[in-house]
Amino acid sequence: MGEQLTLFETQKKTTKPKVVNVASVPQRSPFRYPGGKTWLVPVIRRWLKQDTNNKHLCEPFVGGGIVSLTAAFENLASKITMIELDEEVASVWEVIINGDTNWLATTILEFDLTIENAKRVLSKNKKSIKEQAFSTILKNRIFHGGIITKGSGLIKNGENGKGIKSRWYAKTLHDRIMAINLVKNKIDFKTGDAFDFLEKNISDKEKYFFIDPPYTKAGKRLYTYFDIDHEKLFKLTSRLSGKYMLTYDDTDEIRRLTDKYNLLYKTIPMRTTHHIQKNEIIISDNFDWWV
Ligand SMILES: C[S@@+](CC[C@H](N)C(=O)[O-])C[C@H]1O[C@@H](n2cnc3c(N)ncnc32)[C@H](O)[C@@H]1O
C-alpha cells in the first residue's frame, strides 16, 4: 500500500543504496491503493526525464493513478491517458476527469460518517455514476487496507481506536480532488481493457507506457479484476514500439517470462507497510535512464 512504503533505491554505481522516504513524495491520489506505486515515484521521474520531448504517458492499469497524477502535476508529460477496467474504480475517475468533480469533492466534505450512513450509501442498488464514485471512495477509506473486493470488510479498531473514521480525511480528499481538477485538461480517462488499449497502440513510437498489472501472487486478494493473462501481457509489451516500463513481483514465473521474451530488467528492493522487504522487477525497453 502506497502511504508508508519505503524504497531502497540504488543511486550512482559508486554510492551505497539509499533509503528514500515516501513521506517526501506528494500524495495526489484520492485512493488508498493496494499495490500503489507511490514508492516508485523517484524512479518514474527519472524514466520520464530520459529525453526532453513532449510526452504522452499512458497508464493502462491505472488503479489509484499515482504515476499519472504525478506526471500531470510535475509536468513530466504533456498528455496522459488513463485506463481502468474495474467499474467501481473507473467510476471515480469518470466523475473526477470527465464529470462533476465539484459534486464529488463537496459530497465527501459534507458527509456525516457513521456506520448507518455508510451502510446506506454502500447498499443502495442501481447507483448513478456519481453515487457509485462516492460509494467507491467511501468503501476504499473505511474498508480494511483500502481493499474493495467482495471478500473485504470494514476497518474494526483502526488508528487510535477511531474505527471507520481512521482513514476518512474528508478535507484532504476534497482538496486532492479539486487539485486534480486543475490539471485534468491534460488527462484522458477511459473505462476499458488494458490489453485492447495496448494492442491498438502497439506501433505508436511516441507514447510512453507505464504498465502496472495485478501481480501474480497478491492480485487475487487485492483486486476484483486480478485474473489476467500474464504471458499475453509480456508478449504485447515485447512488441511495443514506444517506450515502456512494466513492473512485477520478483517470482520464478516472471523471470521465466522475462527471459522467454528477451526483455531487459532490473530488480529493486522495497519494503511494504508491514515492513516486509521484497524485490520487484522493473522491465523496460532500455535502462540508459536508470542511473
Ligand atoms: C496493481 S493495480 C495498479 C496500481 C497503480 N499503479 C497505483 O499506483 O495505484 C492494477 C489495476 O489494474 C486493474 N485491472 C485489472 N485488469 C485490468 C484490465 N484488463 N484492464 C484495465 N485495468 C485492469 C485493476 O482493477 C487494478 O486497479
Per-residue pLDDT tens over the stretch 82-134: 999 999 999 999 999 999 999 999 999 999 999 999 999 999 999 999 999 99
Residue 243's domain spans which residues? 1-85+192-291
56 and 27 share a domain? yes
Measure 61 CA to ligand 1 centroid, in angstroms. 4
In a domain, 94, yes or no: no
81 and 196, same domain (yes or no): yes
Q: 151: Cβ–Cβ under 8 A, 6 or more apart, which residues? A: 221
- CA dist 142 and 168 (Å) reads 7
Same domain for 202 and 276, yes or no, is yes
CA–CA separation, 83 and 194 (whole Å): 7
The answer on 118 and 1 residing in a single domain is: no
- Do 207 and 79 reside in the same domain of the chain? yes
Distance, CA of 4 to CA of 235 (rounded, Å): 33
C-alpha cell at 116: 448507518
- Say if 233 falls within a structural domain: yes
Residue 171, in any domain of the structure: yes
Handedness of CA 188, 193, 197, 200 (dihedral sign): negative
Pocket test for ligand 1, best of 62, 81, 136 (most atoms within 8 A of CB): 62
Residue 8 lies in a domain: yes
Q: Give the 3-state secondary structure of residue 236.
A: helix
* Rounded Cα gap, residues 119 and 268, in angstroms: 41
Q: Are residues 124 and 8 in the same domain?
A: no
H helix and E strand count, the chain: 11, 9
Mean pLDDT of 249-260: 96
From 185, 204, 236, give the residue that closes a domain. 185
Residues with C-beta less than 6 Å from any ligand 1 atom: 33, 35-37, 60-61, 63-67, 83-86, 89, 193-195, 212-214, 223, 225, 228
The whole model's pTM is what?
0.90
What is the CB-side half-sphere exposure of residue 172 using CA atoms within 13 A? 12
Residue 25 CB contacts under 8 Å (≥ 6 apart), including other chains? 38, 39, 41, 42, 70
- 94 touches 191 (CB < 8 A): yes
**Residue 59 CA: which ligand 1 atom is closest?**
6
Residue nearest to atom 17 of ligand 1 (CA): 85
Residue 23 — pLDDT band, cuts 50, 70, 90? low
Looking at the structure, tell me whether residues 77 and 109 fall in a common domain. no
Maximum mean pLDDT: which of 55-59, 140-144, 152-156: 55-59
Mean pLDDT of all residues in 143-167: 79
- Give a yes or no: residue 253 inside a domain: yes
Q: In the chain, what is the straight-line distance between the N-terminal and C-terminal CA atoms, in Å? A: 26
User: At which of 132, 161, 185 does a domain end?
Assistant: 185
Listed in sequence order, the residues at least 6 apart from 160 whose beta carbon sits closer than 8 Å to its beta carbon are 166
Same-domain check for residues 138 and 172: yes
Same domain for 203 and 288, yes or no, is yes
- State pLDDT tens for residues 60-72: 999 999 999 999 9
Residue whose CA lies nearest to ligand 1 atom number 13: 61
Q: Does 140 lie in the same domain as 200? A: no
User: Does residue 91 form part of some domain?
Assistant: no
Could you tell me if 181 and 197 lie in one domain?
Answer: no
DSSP 16: P
How many domains does the chain contain in total?
2
CATH number for the domain that contains residue 29: 3.40.50.150
- The answer to whether residue 92 sits within a structural domain is no
Percent of the chain scoring above 90 in pLDDT:
70
From 185, 215, 236, give the residue that closes a domain: 185
207-211 and 187-191 strand pairing: unpaired
| Contact present, 212 and 67 (Cβ < 8 Å) | yes
| Cα angle 240-245-248, degrees, rounded to a multiple of 5 | 115
Residues 125 and 181 in one domain: yes
In a domain, 90, yes or no: no
Q: Which of 1, 27, 84 for a ligand 1 pocket mutation test, highest count of atoms within 8 Å of Cβ?
A: 84
CB atoms within 10 A of CB 42: 16
Question: How far is it, in rounded angstroms, from Cα 41 to Cα 45?
Answer: 6
